[in-house]
């Protein structure tokens, strides 16, 4: 799943990262990795803080652009760009806002389509919790509610 997420970010990184003069070519791969890890870290944090229901609602009824989940991921990614790649905060936020909402919309589409089994919501949440608990039954119950 994590590889697929990286590829999803990479496929959407054109304007925000690859064709962005603010980000040197030598950092493209690393920046894409930072975007992927920001998504994983925030989703994992939601699970660990017991916000499973909110996470399921996000994927079920996503009108994602103004969602606090997307804002959290965007801010985390922008902070990494500023901290690790010395991109000034304004440019870092611009890059993050250009990439993260798009990727999250694509992730929601992938989750709903059911084509990529790695992105099935129950499977994805189970992988995010380190395979400690199969969250498929919980997700199925909450999706019906």
Where do the structural domains in the chain lie, given as residue ranges? Answer: 1-144
Mean pLDDT of the chain: 87
Helix extents (H) in the chain: 2-11, 28-48, 52-60, 68-85, 89-113, 121-128, 136-144
Q: How confident is the model at residue 63 (pLDDT cuts 50, 70, 90)?
A: low
C-alpha angle 42/45/48, rounded to 5°?
160
For residues 60-76, give the mean pLDDT: 80
Amino acid 143: pLDDT: 67
Task: List the end-to-end C-alpha distance of the chain, in Å, as a whole number.
Answer: 26
Amino acid 22: pLDDT: 94
Most confident of 51-60, 76-85, 122-131, 133-142: 76-85
Amino acid 52: pLDDT: 86
Which three-class secondary structure state does DSSP give residue 22?
Answer: coil
Q: Is the pLDDT of residue 66 over 60?
A: no
Q: Is the pLDDT of residue 20 over 80?
A: yes
- Cα-Cα-Cα-Cα dihedral sign, residues 109, 60, 64, 80: negative
Q: Is the pLDDT of residue 90 over 80?
A: yes
The Cβ of residue 98 has, within 10 Å, a number of other Cβ atoms equal to 17
Distances (CA, A) of 22 to 11, 54, 78, 87, 141: 19, 35, 13, 7, 45
């Amino acid at each position: 799943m994590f590889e697929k997420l990286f590829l999803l970010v990479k496929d959407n990184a054109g304007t925000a990262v690859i064709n962005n003069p603010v980000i040197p070519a030598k950092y493209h791969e690393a920046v894409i990795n930072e975007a992927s890890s920001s998504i994983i870290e925030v989703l994992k944090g939601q699970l660990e803080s017991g916000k499973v229901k909110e996470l399921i609602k996000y994927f079920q009824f996503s009108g994602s652009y103004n969602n606090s989940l997307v804002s959290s991921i965007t801010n985390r990614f922008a902070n990494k760009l500023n901290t690790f790649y010395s991109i000034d905060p304004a440019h870092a936020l611009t890059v993050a806002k250009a990439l993260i909402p798009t990727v999250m919309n694509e992730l929601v589409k992938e989750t709903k389509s059911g084509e990529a089994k790695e992105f099935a919501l129950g499977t994805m949440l189970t992988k995010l919790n380190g395979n400690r608990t199969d969250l498929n039954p919980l997700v199925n119950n909450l999706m019906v509610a």
